[in-house]
Amino acid sequence: MNAPIPEPDALDLGLPAPFQDTALPAEVRIHEVGPRDGLQNESALVPVEVKAEFIGRLAAAGLRTVETTSFVHPKWVPQLADAEELVPRLAGLPDRHPGLRLPVLVPNERGLERALAHGITDIAVFASATETFARRNLNRSADGAMAMFLPVVRKATEAGLRVRGYLSMCFGDPWEGPVPHSQVIDFGVRLLEMGCDQLSLGDTIGVATPAQVTALLDGFARAGVPVGRLAVHFHDTYGQALSNTLSALRSGITTVDASAGGLGGCPYAKSATGNLATEDLVWMLHGLGVRTGVDLRELVATSAWMAQRLGRPSPSRTVQALTGSRP
Amino acid sequence: MNAPIPEPDALDLGLPAPFQDTALPAEVRIHEVGPRDGLQNESALVPVEVKAEFIGRLAAAGLRTVETTSFVHPKWVPQLADAEELVPRLAGLPDRHPGLRLPVLVPNERGLERALAHGITDIAVFASATETFARRNLNRSADGAMAMFLPVVRKATEAGLRVRGYLSMCFGDPWEGPVPHSQVIDFGVRLLEMGCDQLSLGDTIGVATPAQVTALLDGFARAGVPVGRLAVHFHDTYGQALSNTLSALRSGITTVDASAGGLGGCPYAKSATGNLATEDLVWMLHGLGVRTGVDLRELVATSAWMAQRLGRPSPSRTVQALTGSRP
C-alpha cells in the first residue's frame, strides 16, 4: 500500500490543471539566468558552442529574457572567460525570436566598453545591500561599489541601453545576519535613481520567508518605487524560493529570475546557494493560470541535455520528475 | 564576483528572522510521517532499533505527532514488517514527552486487532479519492475500500481511539488526470461521517498548485467541514509542496504532514514522489512567526543521522544547507 507507482507523464494528462488566482498577475516575464549566474557557479567549464546551443534552446523554449554571460575579467570568473566568443554566436537569435532580450553582466566601465563594442542592448550591474558582501565580492565598500557603477549606468543609459541593477543580500547576509529593510531600500533606490530600469532583489543565501518578502516589497512601495520596476531573485538554499515567489506575485511582481534546471548550485560548496529552477517556477505559474510563454516540455529537455553536459543530474524537482532522473 | 561563499551557520545568525503574517495561524501541529510513510518508500531496510531511536529523537526535537509504523501484512510492506517489535520499544516516549501522539496505520480489521492488542491510541486508515488508485493500491473499488474501512473506524472509535483518514490523489491521479473536487469532497465527507477525527488530503503525485489548494479547501468549507478537521499532505515531486502548504495555511489549515529529511522519495522510482521535508516546512513556519515547538537544529541532526543510516544524502534543502551535504 502506498508503494511507489510507475506513472504516466503528468504533462500528457493535462497536469497541472490551471486554477486561476485572480489576485495574481495574468502574465510573468521570466528573467532566465542559467547561462550566466547558473554556469558561473558550476564547477565544470562548458565549451562555448554548448553555451550558444543552450541559449538558443532556451529562446526556442519561449524564454524572452536570457542573461547570457558577463564581461568580467576572465581571471575572476573562468567559467565565463569566453564571453567575447559567445556573444557573436548569438547574433541571429533576436531575429528568430521577436522580443528576445539577451542581457550581459557588466562589472565596470571596461566591461561596458566591451559590451558596447559588441552591440549589446541590455546590461546588468551587480551591487550589494550589505557592507561585508560588497567588500568580499566587489572588493570595495558598498558606497564605493555604488560610486563605481554610477558612470557605468550613466554611460549605458546615454547610449540607449537598458540597465538592470542586481542588489544582493536583500533578505539576510551570511556575516551580518538580518539586513534592515531601510538599508536595502536605500541602496535599491540609489540604483534606480542613477538610471537602472529594473532592480532585481536578491536573496543570495536563500534565507527569506514569505512574509519578509511582502514586508520588503511594501517598503519599496512606501518609498515610491513602482512594483513594475522590481524583480525578485530567490535562491532555494532552504527550499523557500517558490513560496517566496508566490508571495512576491501577490505583491504585484511580474518579473521573476530563475535558472533553467536550477543551474548554479555548486555541488562542492557548503550551503550551496542554488537558484530557483525555472521549471519548478513554470509548473507553479501555469498551474495558477499565469502566462509565461514557455513550453515546459522543451525547457525540461533543454535542462536535461545541459545536465548531461555538466555530468550531474539537475536539482530541479520538475526536471527530475519529468525525466526520471534523481541525484 | 558572485562566486560561492563559505558562510557561517544561518541559525547562529538568527536566520530566518521571523516576519509575522497575521493572516496565518499562530501555531501549526506537524504530523510527522517519516518513520512510516517515509521509511515505507525507501528501498533500504532499517533495523528496528534504529527506527526506535529515530522516533525517540524526533520526539526529543519537539515533534508531537509521529506516525510510527503500519500494521499491514508484512508481505506487502517489508520495510515495516517489524511493527510488532517496534511498538513496545516506544512505550516510554509519551511519558517523557507529554502530549506526544504515536499513530499507527491500520489497513483493515486484522490490523486494528493488532493495534488494540498493543494498546495503540491513535490509528490511521488510507483511502483513495480515485477509482484507479483504489484498485491498484487497495485492490478494490473506491467504494469497496470505504466499505472495508467502515467497521475498522467504527470499532476504533468505539474503543476510544483517535482515527485519521488519509485520502490520496486529491489533486490529480497518474492515470485519471485531474480529479473533480466534488469527488474528493464526497469521499472525504464519507470518511469523516464514518467517524474519522481528522482527514488528511494527499497530493500523492505532487502535481497541485496553490490556487487549486485554496479551491479544494473552499469546497470542503462549503460542504460544512470545519477546517480544523482537515490536514494537508503534499509531495514535492514538482517542487510545489511548500507553496501549496503556504496556500493551505492561508485557508486556515493548522495540521501539516511532513517527513523528516524528506524521507520517502525512493531514489529508484521514476517520478519519485518525495514527501515535503519537515525541515523546509519548519524553516518557513518559524520565519513566518508560526510556532511549531520544533528545535530545527536537533531535527536536522536527526535527519542527517538517519541519512547516514540509509546511505544517501537527505533531499531536504535545509538539511543540505545546514550540514553541508549535497546529493
DSSP string over B158-171: HTT-EEEEEEE-SS
Q: Are the Cβ atoms of A15 and B175 closer than 8 angstroms?
A: no
Which is higher by pLDDT, A41 or B242? B242
The Cα A119–Cα A108 span in angstroms is 17
Q: Is the pLDDT of residue A82 over 90?
A: yes
Write out pLDDT tens, residues B124-178.
999 999 999 999 888 899 999 999 999 999 999 999 999 999 999 999 998 999 9
To the nearest whole angstrom, how far is the Cα of B100 from the nearest Cα of chain A?
25
pLDDT classification of B38: cutoffs 50, 70, 90: very high
Active-site residue, selected from the candidate residues A266, A272, A284, A301? A266
Length of chain A: 327
* H helices present in chain B, as ranges: 39-40, 48-60, 83-89, 93-96, 109-117, 131-133, 142-158, 181-193, 210-222, 241-250, 278-287, 296-310, 317-323
Question: In this predicted structure, what is the pLDDT of residue B301?
Answer: 97
pLDDT classification of B9: cutoffs 50, 70, 90: confident
Read off the pLDDT of each residue in A80-95 and give the average, rounded to a whole number.
Answer: 96
Instruction: Give the type of residue at A307.
Output: A
Q: Is the pLDDT of residue B6 over 60?
A: no
The Cα B259–Cα B271 span in angstroms is 18
DSSP secondary structure code for residue A19 in this structure: -
- Give the residues across from B255 on adjacent strands: B29
Question: In this predicted structure, what is the pLDDT of residue A274?
Answer: 85
Question: In this predicted structure, what is the pLDDT of residue B269?
Answer: 44
Identify all chain A residues contacting B264, using CB atoms and an 8 Å cutoff.
none
Identify all chain A residues contacting B279, using CB atoms and an 8 Å cutoff.
239
Identify all chain B residues contacting A126, using CB atoms and an 8 Å cutoff.
1-2
Question: Looking at the domain A23-323, which fold is it?
Answer: TIM Barrel (3.20.20)
Global pTM reads 0.95
Across the A:B interface, residue pairs with CB atoms under 8 Å apart total 275
Q: Is the pLDDT of residue B327 over 80?
A: no
Share of chain A above pLDDT 70, in %: 94
CA distances from B62 to A21, A74, A138, A180, B67 (A): 36, 50, 42, 31, 14
pLDDT classification of A41: cutoffs 50, 70, 90: confident
Question: In this predicted structure, what is the pLDDT of residue A326?
Answer: 61
Which is higher by pLDDT, A21 or B299? B299
Per-domain residue ranges of chain B: 24-323
Question: In this predicted structure, what is the pLDDT of residue A265?
Answer: 65
To the nearest whole angstrom, how far is the Cα of A104 from the nearest Cα of chain B?
14
Domain B24-323 classified CATH 3.20.20.70? yes
Can A170 be counted among the known catalytic residues? no
Residue A275's SS3 state is strand
- Grid cell locating B25: 495561524
Q: Which residue has the cell 532566465?
A: A32
Write out pLDDT tens, residues A257-309.
999 999 986 544 444 568 999 999 999 999 999 999 999 999 999 999 999 99
Q: Is the pLDDT of residue B60 over 60?
A: yes
To the nearest whole angstrom, how far is the Cα of A324 from the nearest Cα of chain B?
4
Identify all chain A residues contacting B237, using CB atoms and an 8 Å cutoff.
317, 321
Question: In this predicted structure, what is the pLDDT of residue B19?
Answer: 94
Write out pLDDT tens, residues A207-232.
999 999 999 999 999 999 999 999 99
Q: Is the pLDDT of residue A5 over 70?
A: no
Q: Are the Cβ atoms of B7 and A322 closer than 8 angstroms?
A: no
Q: Is the pLDDT of residue B17 over 60?
A: yes
Question: In this predicted structure, what is the pLDDT of residue A6?
Answer: 55
Q: Are the Cβ atoms of B322 and A271 closer than 8 angstroms?
A: yes
Q: Is the pLDDT of residue B5 over 70?
A: no
Q: Searching chain A, which residue's CA lies closest to the CA of residue B267?
A: A326
* Residue A138 CB neighbours (<10 A): 21
The Cα A67–Cα A54 span in angstroms is 12
Which is higher by pLDDT, B325 or A119? A119
Read off the pLDDT of each residue in A125-149 and give the average, rounded to a whole number.
Answer: 93
Average model confidence (pLDDT) for chain B?
93
Share of chain B above pLDDT 70, in %: 94
Question: In this predicted structure, what is the pLDDT of residue B42?
Answer: 86
Question: In this predicted structure, what is the pLDDT of residue A270?
Answer: 47
DSSP H/E element including A297: helix A296-310
Q: Is the pLDDT of residue B324 over 70?
A: yes
Q: Are the Cβ atoms of A13 and B177 closer than 8 angstroms?
A: yes
Question: In this predicted structure, what is the pLDDT of residue A2?
Answer: 47
Question: In this predicted structure, what is the pLDDT of residue B326?
Answer: 61
Question: In this predicted structure, what is the pLDDT of residue A327?
Answer: 55
Read off the pLDDT of each residue in B274-296 and give the average, rounded to a whole number.
Answer: 97
Question: In this predicted structure, what is the pLDDT of residue B41?
Answer: 87
